Structure 1
Amino acid sequence: MKLIHARSQDILDYMGEVLKHLGTQEMEECLVYAAIFRAVRSGIIEFIIRLCKVDPDILWRRNSMGRNIFQYSIECRQEKVYSLIYGVGQRNLIATFADASGNDMLHLAGMLSPTEKLDRISGAALQMQRERQWFKEVKSLVVLPSGVGAFNNQGMRPHELFTQNHNKLKEEGEKWMKDTATSCTVVAFTVPGGNNGGTGFPLFLDENMFMVFIVSDAISLFSSTTSVLMFLGILTSRYAEDDFLKSLPTKMIIGLSSLLISIAFMMVAFCSALFLMLHERLWIVIPIIFLASIPVTLFIWMQFPLLVEIFISTYGGGIFDKKVRRWP
């Protein structure tokens, strides 16, 4: 694979040398412009950079819909290609262009992402978050008066187009959040062995394992209560479009994290209680602990990747690279 990649780069370099001597008509006939837009759709930034260095006019070239490579990258949701705009000196000028339908870059960000791109993201809420991240990123670049409040040929502003195209996804994201939030629980155990009839203190008060039980049981209860509060916050949220950026994901992160902590310490409390009451019969304690840990382990194994994905999507480095060096 490395050899194929190296040879492909060599072929591309030879093509670049030939293209330097071709005119616009010849470039069109050789399908160079068509190849550029196919590279944008596939996210092949090396191909785009090398050919744009050979012919900088490719930056201004448009496809049949009247969209340049950066507008088309927004339509295809190719963040690596879009990030190249930060290495272009005239990016503010490029951001003002509109396509054949009067859509500028922010209008294109308001359109729904291609299905194959959305399917790579888990859950409708995270899909809505990614769409809102795209809209916010493009909006930060489109700072001229012709951008944020501009009308397309259908008389729609970018935010109106976003709301119209993402209404169903927003409803699905709300349902996904609420369904996840309802799967919460509060756990606590009664004191094993009961209390001393004379003093009222627990019978196992002097046992080290009893302190393990008390601490783990308390942490489990506090964690599960925190998860309940966070999930209630999710259920009662207003579910505005911008809430999917950080507000709702943050509540979900805290809720899932505290729920996983609660379940883990619940198992510790359960195991310590068994050891206290059946410490002389380990032959039955160990199998019970093993069997009880299976569903808990499965639950954590299924939910932890989701928790990591939400955290990275919300607080990670982001999908856009604003530190791209000047390249055309």
Structure 2
Amino acid sequence: MTKNHNSQHKDLMLQNSQKLDRLLTRLCKRSGCDEEEEHEGGNESVLFIAAKNGVLEILEKILKDKPGAIHETNSLDQNVLHVTVENRQPRVFEHLEKYLKEKELWESHVARADKDDNTILHLAAKLSRYKPRHIAGSALQMQWEVKWFLFMKKKMPHMQFLQNKSRKTPQDIFVRDHEDLLEQGIGWLKSTSESCSVVAALIAGVAFATATTFPGGTQEETGKPYLERHPAFNLFAFTPLWALFCSITSLITFLSILTSRQQPQDFRKDLPSKLLVGLSYLFMSIASVLASFSSAFFFLLRDHLQQVVFSLYAVAILPIAYFGVAQSPLYMDLMRATFRNIPQSSNRESEKLIL
């Protein structure tokens, strides 16, 4: 019984070891160890590869089995904290912060600069060539970059005025490195806002015309609609007004994006939240217009084609359903990016590596 247990334990350890070897090999291939060797003049340690790719499990195991690895540096004289910050890995950074503070090594690691006198805040300000997060669109990428820099700036406020060998502060580096990304983000926001503004204006015009037209006409003596007591009339009376309100609100929101300053700090929350609000009201205005037309045609079709009227309504819902499905990835990205204070890295690739 004991022999079988020991044999199973050895097999499990061997499997874990083989899995770890495969993971490290894939990590090395993914991070381009050959390119790093040519560029930096030497191989990166496994600790640095794990930190760069955000594989927290490997990093924890290395620090547990070999605590002295925390003092390792690469050919650029960067420690593991520098590499983590440069490659935008918040989970790894939070773990290292806790670990280094427990070991009373936090101050020494933070105060260290690389061979170009770049501090941790300088590295946070750089536009990294590594993209650990799956973010669609330059505007959202710019938002994450701004949030990461401000997050690190809040952690290390004393470093914001320090200069490197090129006499550049972290703010100088951020502005320089993100100039192209900022222009791309502004261009994407402008084109999106202009297109949505046209749609919102068309819906506002249709909603206004619908709100002033009553199906069945009005009584000559009182001016009241003939069908005002019909249940479907209440829906018809409400939906054009709601569509008009939503479309005008959406139009004003998109216009505020077009007329904003569009500075880097505006990408943190102001511009994405406006885009989120504009898209939400635009979606509701489209749905309200469809509901308004469906209720209006109900009066025309209630005595005819009663068996197929609900099928026609179901078909009428398809455009709004398609729009919702098509825009849901962008909408969810905006939701996550707007309401999270700390950028979150995606470990989907790391999970694939482990598997």
Pair 1:6–1:308, CA change in 2 (3 A): farther
Q: Tell me the alpha carbon deviations over residues 144-185 of structure 1, each in whole angstroms, 9 at most, x when there is no partner.
A: 3xx111111111111110111101111111111122212131
Task: Please say if residues 39 and 47 of structure 1, whose CA atoms lie closer than 8 Å, have aligned partners that are also in contact.
Answer: yes
Task: Please say if residues 77 and 114 of structure 1, whose CA atoms lie closer than 8 Å, have aligned partners that are also in contact.
Answer: no
Q: Which moved more, 1:42-51 or 1:163-172?
A: 42-51
AA aligned to 1:225 is I
Partner of 2:281: 258
Partner of 1:25: none
Q: Distance in 1 between matches of 2:13 and 2:127?
A: 33
Pair 1:116–1:61, CA change in 2 (3 A): same
Task: Please say if residues 125 and 170 of structure 2, whose CA atoms lie closer than 8 Å, have aligned partners that are also in contact.
Answer: yes
Partner of 2:141: 127
Q: Distance in 2 between matches of 1:213 and 1:283?
A: 21
2:175 maps to 1:163: yes
Q: Distance in 2 between matches of 1:11 and 1:265?
A: 55
Task: Please say if residues 254 and 278 of structure 2, whose CA atoms lie closer than 8 Å, have aligned partners that are also in contact.
Answer: yes
Identity rate of aligned residues, in percent?
A: 31
Q: Which runs of 5+ in 1 are unaligned?
A: 13-30, 322-328
Counterpart among 45, 49, 71 of residue 34 in structure 1? 45
Q: Tell me the alpha carbon deviations over residues 93-113 of structure 1, each in whole angstroms, 9 at most, x when there is no partner.
A: 322211111111111111113
C-alpha RMSD over aligned residues: 2.6
Partner of 1:277: 300
Counterpart among 247, 259, 264 of residue 236 in structure 1? 259
Partner of 2:240: 217
Q: Distance in 2 between matches of 1:289 and 1:112?
A: 50
Partner of 2:192: 180
AA aligned to 1:93 is S
Q: Which moved more, 1:179-188 or 1:95-104?
A: 179-188
AA aligned to 1:123 is G
Structure 1 position 4, deviation (Å): 8.2
Pair 1:42–1:117, CA change in 2 (3 A): closer
Q: Secondary structure at the match of 2:51?
A: helix
Q: Which moved more, 1:74-83 or 1:218-227?
A: 74-83
Pair 1:127–1:195, CA change in 2 (3 A): same
Pair 1:237–1:9, CA change in 2 (3 A): farther
Q: Distance in 2 between matches of 1:74 and 1:117?
A: 12
Task: Please say if residues 92 and 141 of structure 1, whose CA atoms lie closer than 8 Å, have aligned partners that are also in contact.
Answer: no
Partner of 2:332: 308
AA aligned to 1:194 is G
Q: Secondary structure at the match of 2:178?
A: helix
Q: Tell me the alpha carbon deviations over residues 48-94 of structure 1, each in whole angstroms, 9 at most, x when there is no partner.
A: 12222333332221111111111111222222222223302132332
Q: Which moved more, 1:65-74 or 1:192-201?
A: 192-201
TM-score, normalised to structure 2, is: 0.77
2:61 maps to 1:61: no
Structure 1 position 213, deviation (Å): 1.0
Q: Distance in 2 between matches of 1:59 and 1:191?
A: 75
Q: Which moved more, 1:280-289 or 1:291-300?
A: 280-289
AA aligned to 1:92 is E
Structure 1 position 317, deviation (Å): 6.3
Q: Which moved more, 1:33-42 or 1:252-261?
A: 33-42
Counterpart among 313, 316, 319 of residue 295 in structure 1? 319
Counterpart among 162, 166, 169 of residue 150 in structure 1? 162
